[in-house]
Amino acid sequence: MNTDNHAKIQKSSKQDTFEHPDFYGMDSLLTEEHIMVRGAVRDFVKQEISPYIESWAQNAHFPLEMVKKFGDIGAFGPQLPTKYGCGGMDYISYGLIMQEIERGDSGMRSTASVQGSLVMYPIYKFGNEEQRHKYLPKLASGEWLGCFGLTEPDHGSNPSGMTTNFKDMGDHYLLNGAKMWISNAPHADVAVVWAKSEEGRIHGLIVERGMEGFSTPTTHGKWSLRASATGELVFDNVKVPKENLLPNKSGLGAPMMCLDSARYGIAWGAIGAAMDCYESARKYCAERIQFDKPIGSFQLQQKKLAEMLTEITKAQLLNFRLGQLFNEGKATTPQISMAKRNAVETALNIAREARQMHGGMGITGEYPMMRHMANLESVVTYEGTHDIHLLILGAEITGIPAFK
């Protein structure tokens, strides 16, 4: 991951003219605030992400300056209360923000998702007032970047098997272990880390950069999320102050609640990527001439566009209804799993079809499909793999968990 190659970053001359498909008139269900928030973030993406994203991805460059810019537009924890410097918005606004950012790039949305749903949310939900006031305003503004330490080298889909642990040393805790595949880790100022106590109970600990024995090696060689920073968290006898323990919830259910919030954002975000690929294919079909006419006049191309629009529309309806359930405090984990799984599968299928429709040009950075496709291969795996979400639904349907 090269973060020092500004000289190689080039601004695209192509203008971003994206307008979202809205075949079922979904905009009429949105409030004025929803539309205003979406418009503001869309304009931000067009100005700050679209002109540079292909170059960032080609150069495996994480643009650290984007963290402060995301803070300035309120993309971090927009659904958390204003008293902590957050947006105080509803969950549909949060979803629309994630949709627009991932339309720009999945790696950029991952940066925002992790900060808001996996770092700020647990501090707000499980922390005390002192922790909330200390960390949330700085995370909301982008002054600090955070990361979420759950996945371990040997424990991905089974986080309850984690071996990262802490011991009570009287006036502090002693933390040991390692986490892997952690978005934002190489640059994070704060990590919300999940570890087992001596009694084997999972707790959240706030670990700060600079604590002795805490390191964040960068993960190199990624073919996916190349504009996102990924790394490890290594804890070698790290002394964590006792006031850094999140006091209001323990057990595996605590990090799972964080993942529910993040998976909801992914459901909206992935459809943003799908929309970008669909719009590129629709425009290309009108411009590309073969056999003396636009390729959009051929039945197979029309079939593909019709199927893309159908799947996007279905996902829009699913996400909107899930947003209503979140606002009412009624959304369940299986409902969130269905939306995350559906959205990512839809986006991957649309990215692949759109890539084919662009022919050879589809593999280049002139168009977004290959980048989205590669990114979505991470999105389909992280925060619950495609198969695990299927099994969460299966357990809900049958009452029999298949992964225990």
* Catalytically active residues, by annotation: 383
User: Based on C-alpha coordinates, what's the Rg of the chain?
Assistant: 21
Q: Which of 374, 370, 364 is nearest to 223 (CA)?
A: 374
- Other CB atoms within a 10 A radius of the CB of residue 296 amount to 17
- Grouping H, G, I as helix, E, B as strand and the rest as coil, residue 203 is strand
H-type alpha helices, 228-330: 253-287, 299-327
Residue 227, judged by CB atoms within 10 A of its CB (0-12, 13-18, 19+), counts as buried
Residue 148 gets the label, from left (phi > 0), alpha (psi -120 to 50) or beta, of beta
* Phi, psi (degrees; rounded to nearest 5) at 194: -105, 125
Q: Which of 294-297's residues contact partners 24+ apart within 8 Å by CB, and which partners?
A: 295/357
Q: Which of 346, 149, 351 is nearest to 266 (CA)?
A: 346
Query: In which residue are the tokens 């619950």 written?
Result: 384
| Euclidean distance between CA atoms 203 and 217, whole angstroms | 23
Question: Quick one: tokens of 246?
Answer: 């999140």
| Euclidean distance between CA atoms 83 and 16, whole angstroms | 35
